[in-house]
Structures are given as structure tokens and as C-alpha cells.
Amino acid sequence: MGNRVSNWFKERINMEDLPFFRTPDYMYHVGDWLGALVAAAFFYTVISGLIILLYYDPAAGYQSTETIINKVPYGSVVLYSHLYGAYAMIILAFVHMFRNYFVGAYKKPREIVWILGVLMLALTLGASFLGYSLIGDVLAVSAVDVGAGILGSLGLSSLVPILFGNYSAGDYTRVLAMHIILVALIGLLFLIHFFLADLQYGMMPSRKVKDKAPAVYPKSEWQKFNPWWPRNFIYMMSLIFLTWGFILIIPNALVYFTFPQIANPFLNPKPAPPPNSPAAATVTTYPPWFFLFVYKIADFPGSVLVDMTIALFIPLIYLLVVPFIDRSPYLHPLKRRVFTWIGILMMIYLIQSSLWGDLAPGVPVSMSEILEVYLPPAIITGLGIFLIPWEKVSKGLSKGMSNPPTMLAFTFVTLAFASSMIYFLTTLSLASLATVISLGSIFVILAKLLTPYVMRAQQDENAVSVEEASKVLEKKKRIAQIIMIILFIVAIPIVVTMWTIPPTGYYSNLFGVDLGVLFLILGEEFSLYHYVVYKKPVEKEE
Amino acid sequence: MPLRFRLNGRDKQILESTDLAFLYKLVRVMKNPKTKFNEVDFVTKGEDYLFNYVNNNVGGVDEGRRNFLKGILIGVAVTTVAGIVPGLRVLIPPVQSVSGFPKTLILDSSGNPIKASTLPVNSPIIMVFPYPLQNEINFLLNLGDENGNPVEVPPTTVVVPQTGDKYQFPGGVGPNKSIVAYSAICQHLGCTPPYIHFYPPKYVNISQVTAPEPNKLTVQAVQAAKSAKVPAIIHCDCHGSTYDPYHGAAVLTGPTVRPLPTIVLEWDSSTDYLYAIGAVGVPTYPMSSNGVPSNDPSADLDESQFGASVGDKTEISETNPFSS
């Protein structure tokens, strides 16, 4: 009976023939699926946002935020996870972007996919800023003031009423509408981005298969891979639910802690006091964390126009045109060292400026401080990247890489990194921060270069046959199966407790934690199912 | 038990028993006329045809195990749904269950508690505060005589002309028992300040008949005030309804057929603060249309009409209708 029903659907929906990219076995790793994580965060945020939209009243922003948190059943669970869904989306979008930057995914023929992605990142930051403004607390109001001030000094003050409407009079209708419009735009661009990336070009083959652009599988070749249904579906489900689990657990657990001021922009999901309350006077205002870097760069000497050019326009324009500057067909990061170097610096500067903005918000900086903070990472990473010999890397890190000088250098970097970390923790100054980040990145690069060699050395010793490998795999699958059963058993008492959690008040956020754990379990079940059913002993990169 | 044979003195495994079962099943399916294996398709489409055929008809290796895992997966999915179900309460809008009138401290327009002894007598400035819900505004009045001295407002019985019903007006409060509060929404058709407001004694005379809106009085209103011997009145410019603030806002002239509801005040003599504690008379317009005086707060506490409860504090806002 069940079979007949499923066959009925099978015949009509015919999932095997969906035109999505067919995926080779070796691509079922999260590194190849970062876009799915961003999309998962996006959809979570949209769904939770629509629930909030049922209650939010733009005529009384702060009041209705408070009502949602305190009066609506599980309102705080939805609101806080909406915030952290957006956070997750921003972080994952950055990770997705930088990963694709370093593997050279912006190269031919994926230029448009890349440009759409960069535009979506900009829209995401914009939509997040507007969403943050909707809270209407003292932080949101001051963030909007700063934003309006920046627009004003760029000569764009006519944009302020277009974006924010009557915000200063307490009417958030326009901000709410703009927030939704930007999100809708993201959704639209996402469709094109996904269509091109998945259906048109397919996922990028491993560098071992294709180390030059255009890195695409010919359609005839990709027909051999796994169809979307059911394997990709199952893998995707595991990623979605794991992402949703973290989005729910983190904010709803953080609610029960209090943080020192420097951690507040990152870890405190609760709104600050309203701007017209006496308590507002004592609040240190700061922008949302994803704009801390802009906030710090605005403290640089020079006009606002110069600062914003540095903070926003140059990086944005660079990212938009990088497919047209970097025209070499090579994909390996060390075959395009300048771009790799710029990418690493962008990452470092982003983190550095954000942390600096958090530690010293609004404190003007001098030229010498700027050099002190931003020059060392440039020099250290530059030296590191340009001194790594390509020949040795390209030969799959032959023994030459692990000769005594290299090992000595690695030991030195490791020790220097460790001591700089201690130095940073004890002094907490900007110079120490700069040192620890740049030494850390060198350490990561070297470690990554050396580990494959070390790992392979181990593997070679006990070279395993396919037969042996499948035996080991079968053992692992048995363990996975047991874990699946245990997780199922764990899930049941969690659900039972969820039915007893009050919908409002202090304990209501535990519902969010529990639901998050449940999502994690479900995601893990999908992941284990995928492992047991589909994992092959040898998944060669074809 | 896997199939093995012995080669050069070593055990060599060739086939798992599960694989054997799979092969057996596959061969049977291939022979079955219903699911006949098409050799021509196989030759033209190659491997793909075989894979799809096996996937569709045999379901790969170890179907039992796969079904067991599927069962667990579906079980966890169902469990998760069971966990989401109580969360669906997020869709139920919170209903504020107000069972009675709140006791609400009245604040001045800058947010400080208002002092009863410093409240100006016969003030021409309209002072309204929301109570018990955010959209239900009420006048706060300190009544005096023609010379501006506060007068005691005694308790009295008020008649509702529409039905003839009667109710008890509690009288003024404060150091001189001269402070009263009435709904600022006209009972005739719901006009609000500045169209309806208090006229201090110096404005209650015939010269006000030619004053511009919203300060215009009708001849009937001036005559009614004179014949009732009240120095000041509440008058609505929309259609000319007049109320007597000294006697529970009873009707002086139509077209209104109901007095303004009274907000019951409480004066704390030690702090000099004023609190709103309830309402008497007909419900706030438009809930009052049946004209029946009600002490049932639900009539006044219908959120769909008047917004959320003001809570324990309510703030006065001031406008001066006579300024222009």
C-alpha cells in the first residue's frame, strides 16, 4: 500500500529528473554547500520575520517590540532567533564569499553569479541595518542617526527620507516597508543566483579535476552523478536543520546571561532601553556588529567621504570587478598571489576594524595608529604568501616541504602566534591585536599547507585496500545507526518538556533552546542517514 | 555469511550474503514481465539505464536496513513536528484580560505626577488623559466659581435622558473637593477635543456666540447655563451639545441624549497625587448607544475599539483652544 502511494507520487512528480545539478560523491562536504547554509539562514529569517510581521506595529516600534517579547506567546523566541538568523546569514554569506574568492569561483563562466552574490551581500547588510532600526531602542535610534549623518555628509541627505521616512518622529512604517522590500530583492536575486550556479554551471569541480577556468563539468559528464532526489535532498535537509538548530539555540540560551559592554554588540539579543528613558543616558551606543568596521573607519582622519570610500566603496567595487581584473585561468590561490593576498587582507581588516570599533567606538584615530594597526598584517601576510615556493606546493608537497628549515619556521610561527595571543590577552592593545591576527593567519596557512603532507605520510604507512576500507566504513555505519537510535530516544523527552514550557515569561526562551536541539537532532539524523545509505568507501574526485 | 573460496592458502571473500540476496532479487525482477529489463534501452542509454532500473525496481542494496533507517528518520521528523505544535501558539494574538479598571496615576505632560493642590482652577487649557485604554481620553477639571475660587462638587444623581436611567455621581475630589474628570468624547456623535471642551466662566456669555470654531457657543447653551445657574459648561461645537460639569456632566442641551461618563478619581492627601480608579455612567462613546449606565468595565475595556490598557500611569496632554 505504502509502496503504491509512493509510486503514484513518483510517477507524477518524477523527482529523479529534476534539472538540478547532479552531484558527484566527493562533493558532499559542507565546504561545497556553503550557499545552502546561507539560504537556510535566509529562509529561517524570512519565516520568523513573517511571524513577527503579524505583531509589529511601525507606529509604536519600541512598544510593539516589547509587546512581542513579553506578551506574544513565544514572541521572544521568534524575535531573538530572527535577529540571530540574520546574524548567521551575514556570517555565512561572508564565509561563502571568501571561500569562493579563494577557490577562484568568480572566474569564467561564473562572473555573473559572483556579482549577484556581492550585490546580495550588500542588500543583506542593508536589510539587516533596517531590521535593526525597527527595534526602536536607543541603539537603533542612534544607529539611524549615524547612518543619516553619514548620508548627509556624502551629500545624499535626500536619501534619508526615502530610506527612513519619518523615523525621527517615531513612525517606522517606511523602515518596515524598506526592510521587506530589500529582503524581497534578496529573494529575487537569490533565484537568479541559484539558477545560474546550480542549473547552468553546476557546482565547481575539485581543483584536482580542473585547476583552470572555466571549471565546469560538461553536461554529459554530470549526468553520471547522483540525481538531486533523493540524495541531495537528504543532504540539504541535514544542512538546513543544523543551521536552524544553531540559530534557535544560541540567542535563546544567551538570553539567560549578562555580558560586559564589549561583548554586548555580539552576544546580547535583548533590546536596549528606549531613547526617551532615563536609562538611555547611561548606555554606550554602538552600531550593530556587522557595521562596527564602518563605524571605526569613520573615526579615521579625513572627511566622511574619504572614510566611506575606504570602508565601503573600495571593497564593494573591488569585489564587483575582481572577475575582470583577475583574468588568469589559474584557480590555485598561489597561482594568483596578489589576489590571495588582497583577499586575506580584506578578511583581516574586516575583523580588525570590527573589533577595534567594538573596543573603542567613536574614538578618533591618528594616522600613526592606523599604520600601526593596518601595516603589520599587510607586511606579514604579504611576505608569507609571496615566499611560499609554488614548485613545492604544486608537487603535492613533496618531502622538500617538510625539510628542517620549513619545520623550524613553522615551529617559530606557532610559538610566535601563541605568545602573541598571550600578549594580546594581557595587554588588549591595538598593536597586539594586529600582531595576533596576522601571525594567526600565517599559522593557519602554514598549518594547512603542511597537514595534507603529514596526513598522507600516515596514510601511506598503512595503505588500505578498498576491501579494508569498506570494512571500516561498515563498522562506522553500524555506529552511526546506533547513534541514530539514541538521538531518536533523546528527542522524545525534549518534546515532552516543550509541551510544559510557559509561552511567555522568563522560561519561555527554553522553548527556543529545546526546539533548536530538536532541529539539531533532526539535522544530524538526516546527516547520519545520508552517511549510512550513501557513503562509499572510496569517493575519488572525478 | 559471506561466500568465500580458498586461494594460495588464503581465504578470499567474493560475495556478501546480502549482495547475493540482492542479485537474486534483481534477476527475479528482470524476469518479471511487469518490470521487464529492456536490453535495447540498456544498449542505447548504457549504464544510466541500469542504475535507474535498479534504483526504481530493487531499491539498491539492503532494503530492510534502509527502511529501518527511514523509519527512524520519519520518527524524528514526526517528533520534531510534535515539538513545533505548542509553538504554534505564537500565532494566537495575546488577549489582554482586563477584569477591572486599573488604578492609574495621573502624570502631567512632562511625566511627573500631577499635584491636586496646584491644578489651575477653571483653566481654559484642555487637559486630557487616556484612561482606562489608550484611545479613551478624559478631561481633568478643577472647577471654580465666577471669581476663580474652587468650589466643592457634591455627589448627585444623574439622569440619562435617552432611557430615564439614573446613576450616582460621586462628586469632586482634592483638597477642595473640586476636581472632576469626564470622558472627552462627546456622547452625541463622538467628537473629540478641541471641538468639545470646557468653557470657563468668562467665556460663558452671549458674546461667545459669534466666536470662531471651536470656541463658539450656541444661544441655547448660554441660556441653559444661566437658567441652571452654572458658571461654566462643557460644550461641543460639532452639533451644540452642552454638559454641566458641576453635576456629573448631566445634559444641559441636546442634541446629546446621554451625559458624559465620569472617571472616578482618588486623591491621596499625603502625596497630593491623583489616581483614576474607575468609571461610572454610560460607557464611552460609541459603546454607550443603548444609554444604559454600566459599571461593567468590559464595555469600556474593549481593546478592539480603544487600544491597550494604559497601565498604572497615564499622561496628560494639553492644548489651548482659546489661544488663537
DSSP states of B128-194 as a string?
EEE-SBTT-EEEEEE-B-TTS-B-----EEEE-TTT--EEEE---BTTTT-EEEEESS-TTT---TT
Q: Indicate if the pLDDT at residue A165 is higher than 70.
A: yes
Residue of A nearest to B77 (CA): A522
Give B319's strand partners. B126
If pLDDT is split at 50, 70 and 90, which confidence band does A229 have? confident
Mean pLDDT across A275-283:
79
In this prediction, residue A134 carries a pLDDT of 94
If pLDDT is split at 50, 70 and 90, which confidence band does A5 have? confident
If pLDDT is split at 50, 70 and 90, which confidence band does B86 have? very high
In chain B, residues with a C-beta closer than 8 Å to the C-beta of A501 are: 86
**Residue A224 and residue B94: Cβ atoms within 8 Å?**
no
3-state secondary structure of B104: strand
How many CA within 13 A on the CB side of residue A252?
28
Residue with cell 520519519: B74
Cβ within 8 Å of residue B150, ≥6 positions away: B121, B142, B143, B144, B174, B176, B178
Interface residue ranges in chain A relative to chain B, Cβ cutoff 8 Å: 10, 16, 51, 54-55, 67, 71-75, 77-78, 223-224, 467, 481, 484-485, 487-488, 491-492, 494-495, 498-499, 501, 503-504, 511, 514-515, 518-519, 521-522, 525-526, 529, 532-533
Cβ within 8 Å of residue A347, ≥6 positions away: A98, A441
In this prediction, residue A487 carries a pLDDT of 95
Report for A399-413, A487-501, B127-141: range of highest mean pLDDT: A487-501
In chain B, residues with a C-beta closer than 8 Å to the C-beta of A491 are: 76, 79-80, 83
Cβ within 8 Å of residue B115, ≥6 positions away: B272, B273
Chain center to CA of B198: 29
Burial grade of A520 (CB within 10 A; 0-12, 13-18, 19 or more): buried
**Residue A72 and residue B94: Cβ atoms within 8 Å?**
yes
In this prediction, residue A462 carries a pLDDT of 52
Mean pLDDT across B296-323:
72
Nearest to A51 among B13, B73, B90 (CB): B90
**Residue A521 and residue B73: Cβ atoms within 8 Å?**
no
Q: Give the pairing type, strands B273-280 and B104-107.
A: antiparallel
Task: Note whether A530 and A231 are within 8 A (CB).
Answer: yes
Q: What percent of chain A has pLDDT over 70?
A: 93
- Give pairs for B219-224: CB < 8 Å, separation 24+: B220/B253, B221/B252, B221/B253, B224/B252, B224/B253
Q: Indicate if the pLDDT at residue B53 is higher than 70.
A: yes
Nearest to B83 among A484, A488, A495 (CB): A495
Per-residue pLDDT tens digits for B137-158: 899 989 888 888 888 889 999 8
Burial grade of A418 (CB within 10 A; 0-12, 13-18, 19 or more): middle
In chain A, residues with a C-beta closer than 8 Å to the C-beta of B90 are: 51, 72-75, 77-78, 503
Q: Indicate if the pLDDT at residue B66 is higher than 90.
A: no
What sign has the CA pseudo-torsion A233, A239, A244, A245? positive
Q: Indicate if the pLDDT at residue A104 is higher than 80.
A: yes
User: For chain A, what is the radius of gyration of the CA atoms?
Assistant: 25
In this prediction, residue B54 carries a pLDDT of 72
Q: Which three cell numbers stand for residue A413?
A: 610561527
Q: Indicate if the pLDDT at residue B55 is higher than 90.
A: no
Q: Indicate if the pLDDT at residue A29 is higher than 70.
A: yes
Q: Which fold has domain B104-319?
A: Rieske Iron-sulfur Protein (2.102.10)
**Whole-number Å distance between alpha carbons of A527 and B145:** 84
In this prediction, residue A452 carries a pLDDT of 62
Nearest to A491 among B69, B76, B90 (CB): B76
Task: Note whether B20 and B3 are within 8 A (CB).
Answer: yes
Higher-scoring residue by pLDDT: B116, B18: B116
In this prediction, residue B298 carries a pLDDT of 65
**Whole-number Å distance between alpha carbons of A469 and A25:** 16
Chain center to CA of A3: 41
In this prediction, residue B75 carries a pLDDT of 95
3-state secondary structure of A501: coil
How many CA within 13 A on the CB side of residue A518?
26
Q: Is it true that the peptide bond before B33 is cis, omega within 30 degrees of 0?
A: no
**Whole-number Å distance between alpha carbons of B119 and A486:** 72
**Which range, of A4-13, A473-482, B192-201, B306-315, averages the lowest pLDDT?**
B306-315
If pLDDT is split at 50, 70 and 90, which confidence band does A80 have? very high
Q: Indicate if the pLDDT at residue B312 is higher than 60.
A: yes
Q: Indicate if the pLDDT at residue A259 is higher than 90.
A: no
In chain B, residues with a C-beta closer than 8 Å to the C-beta of A525 are: 72-73, 76
Give B128's strand partners. B139, B317
**Whole-number Å distance between alpha carbons of A146 and B198:** 45
In this prediction, residue A321 carries a pLDDT of 96
In chain B, residues with a C-beta closer than 8 Å to the C-beta of A223 are: 48
Buried b (16+ CB within 10 A) or exposed e, A52-65: beebbebebbbebb
Q: What percent of chain A has pLDDT over 90?
A: 44
Cβ within 8 Å of residue B137, ≥6 positions away: B128, B129, B130, B183, B184, B185, B192, B193
In chain B, residues with a C-beta closer than 8 Å to the C-beta of A71 are: 94, 96
Task: Note whether B83 and A494 are within 8 A (CB).
Answer: yes
Residue with cell 449606565: B293
Distance from CA of B9 to the nearest CA of A (A): 19
Residue of B nearest to A525 (CA): B73
In this prediction, residue A372 carries a pLDDT of 86
If pLDDT is split at 50, 70 and 90, which confidence band does B204 have? confident
In this prediction, residue A528 carries a pLDDT of 95
**Residue A488 and residue B82: Cβ atoms within 8 Å?**
no
**Which range, of B23-37, B111-125, B284-298, averages the lowest pLDDT?**
B284-298
Residue with cell 570602508: A311
**Residue B290's CB: how many other CB atoms inside 10 A?**
14
Domain boundaries, chain B: 3-91, 104-319
Distance from CA of B320 to the nearest CA of A (A): 23
Q: Indicate if the pLDDT at residue B60 is higher than 60.
A: no
**Whole-number Å distance between alpha carbons of B172 and B143:** 9
Higher-scoring residue by pLDDT: B133, A133: A133
**Which range, of A44-53, A313-322, B100-109, averages the lowest pLDDT?**
B100-109
Task: Report the candidate in A494, A491, A514, A506 with the shortest Cα–Cα distance to residue A81.
Answer: A514
Higher-scoring residue by pLDDT: B108, A99: A99
In this prediction, residue A412 carries a pLDDT of 82
If pLDDT is split at 50, 70 and 90, which confidence band does A84 have? very high
If pLDDT is split at 50, 70 and 90, which confidence band does A260 have? confident
Per-residue pLDDT tens digits for A507-516: 999 999 999 9
Residues 114-173 of B with CB under 8 A from A: none
In chain B, residues with a C-beta closer than 8 Å to the C-beta of A78 are: 90
In this prediction, residue A194 carries a pLDDT of 94
In this prediction, residue B47 carries a pLDDT of 72
Task: Note whether B280 and B170 are within 8 A (CB).
Answer: yes
**Residue A467 and residue B86: Cβ atoms within 8 Å?**
no
If pLDDT is split at 50, 70 and 90, which confidence band does B45 have? confident
**Whole-number Å distance between alpha carbons of A52 and A72:** 10
Q: Indicate if the pLDDT at residue B59 is higher than 60.
A: no
Residues 47-86 of B with CB under 8 A from A: 47-48, 52, 55-56, 65-66, 69-70, 72-73, 75-77, 79-80, 82-84, 86
At B62, which amino acid appears? D
Per-residue pLDDT tens digits for A243-257: 999 999 999 999 998
Q: What percent of chain B has pLDDT over 70?
A: 88
Report for A260-264, A322-326, A472-476: range of highest mean pLDDT: A322-326
| Interface with A, mutate which of B53, B76, B85 (most A CBs under 10 A) | B76
In this prediction, residue B165 carries a pLDDT of 86
Residue with cell 535593526: A132
Higher-scoring residue by pLDDT: B237, A182: A182
In chain B, residues with a C-beta closer than 8 Å to the C-beta of A72 are: 90, 93-94
In this prediction, residue A15 carries a pLDDT of 73
> What is the strand order of the sheet B233-236 is part of?
B196-199, B233-236, B242-244, B250-253
Q: Which three cell numbers stand for residue A105?
A: 569561483
In this prediction, residue A455 carries a pLDDT of 55
Which strand (E) or helix (H) includes residue B235?
strand B233-236
> What is the strand order of the sheet B317-319 is part of?
B313-315, B104-107, B273-280, B262-268, B179-183, B137-142, B126-130, B317-319
Nearest to A519 among B65, B80, B96 (CB): B80
**Residue B76 and residue A498: Cβ atoms within 8 Å?**
no
**Whole-number Å distance between alpha carbons of A405 and A411:** 10
In this prediction, residue A287 carries a pLDDT of 85
Buried b (16+ CB within 10 A) or exposed e, A395-410: eebeeebeeeebeeeb
Chain center to CA of A467: 39
Mean pLDDT across B190-218:
83
In this prediction, residue A54 carries a pLDDT of 94
Cβ within 8 Å of residue A383, ≥6 positions away: none
Task: Report the candidate in B71, B243, B186, B92 with the shortest Cα–Cα distance to residue A51.
Answer: B92
Mean pLDDT across A182-200:
94
Task: Note whether B248 and B169 are within 8 A (CB).
Answer: yes
**Residue B73 and residue A485: Cβ atoms within 8 Å?**
no
Mean pLDDT across A481-491:
94
Residue of B nearest to A227 (CA): B52
Helices B63-87 and A509-534 cross at an angle (nearest 10°) of: 170
If pLDDT is split at 50, 70 and 90, which confidence band does B44 have? confident
Distances (CA, A) of A24 to A100, A109, A186, B59: 19, 20, 29, 20
Mean pLDDT across A332-356:
91
Q: What is the dihedral of CA A360, A362, A364, A367, to 10 degrees?
A: 70
If pLDDT is split at 50, 70 and 90, which confidence band does B299 have? low
**Residue A73 and residue B92: Cβ atoms within 8 Å?**
yes
Residue of B nearest to A470 (CA): B16
**Whole-number Å distance between alpha carbons of A475 and A531:** 12
Cβ within 8 Å of residue A335, ≥6 positions away: A328, A390
Task: Note whether B89 and A51 are within 8 A (CB).
Answer: no
Q: Indicate if the pLDDT at residue A312 is higher than 80.
A: yes
Nearest to A495 among B55, B82, B92 (CB): B82
Mean pLDDT, chain A, integer: 87
| Interface with A, mutate which of B10, B73, B81, B112 (most A CBs under 10 A) | B73
In this prediction, residue B29 carries a pLDDT of 80
In this prediction, residue A114 carries a pLDDT of 96
In this prediction, residue A456 carries a pLDDT of 54
Give B11's strand partners. B6
3-state secondary structure of A57: coil
What sign has the CA pseudo-torsion A209, A210, A215, A218? negative
Mean pLDDT, chain B, integer: 82
Q: Indicate if the pLDDT at residue B202 is higher than 70.
A: yes
If pLDDT is split at 50, 70 and 90, which confidence band does A401 have? low
Chain center to CA of A9: 36
